[in-house]
Structure 1
Amino acid sequence: MKSNVGTIDRTLRILLGLALIAGAATGVLGAWGWVGVVPLATGIFRFCPAYLPFGLSTCRVKQAD
């Protein structure tokens, strides 16, 4: 699995995911806030499956295959 999530993208995903989860845990956002697990996981693993069909990558350095 090649990384396709860059540093800024990764930071934003982790922050958004944590904010959504915190909102859901405190009851501010309701149950839909648990969807924050998705951006949190993609930020932690530096891989976004939604980028694959479009050939997108926010990483600066190209990785060797």
Structure 2
Amino acid sequence: MKVNVGGIDRILRILVGVVLVVLAATGLVGWWGWLGVVPLATGLFRFCPAYPLLGINTCPLKRD
């Protein structure tokens, strides 16, 4: 799995994911808040499955 999420993209994904999960866990938003797991996971694993399909890579480093 190649790394394709980097920098500010990664930080924003993690922050948005954490905020959505916390809001869902506290009951402030509905079930859709649990979708925050998706950006959280893609930020932590530094891989977004949609990026290769769209030809996007925000990681400046070349890793395999």
TM-score with structure 2 length normalisation? 0.93
The answer for the alignment partner of 1:5 in structure 2 is: 5
One-letter code aligned to 2:28: V
Structure 1: unaligned runs, 5 residues or longer: none
The answer for the alignment partner of 2:30 in structure 1 is: 30
The answer for the alignment partner of 2:44 in structure 1 is: 44
Per-residue CA shift, 1:33-52, capped at 9, x if unaligned? 00000000000000000101
Structure 2: unaligned runs, 5 residues or longer: none
What secondary structure, in the 3-state scheme, does the structure 1 residue paired with 2:28 have? coil
| Aligned-residue identity in percent | 66
Once the two structures are TM-superposed, the CA of residue 62 in structure 1 deviates from its matched residue by: 3.0
RMSD: 1.1
Structure 1 consecutive aligned stretches of length 4 or more whose deviation exceeds 6 Å: none
Alignment partners' CA distance in 1, 2:16 and 2:55: 23
TM-score with structure 1 length normalisation? 0.91
Residue 20 of structure 2 is aligned to residue 20 of structure 1: yes
Once the two structures are TM-superposed, the CA of residue 61 in structure 1 deviates from its matched residue by: 2.4
Per-residue CA shift, 1:14-64, capped at 9, x if unaligned? 00000000000011111110000000000000000010111110011233x
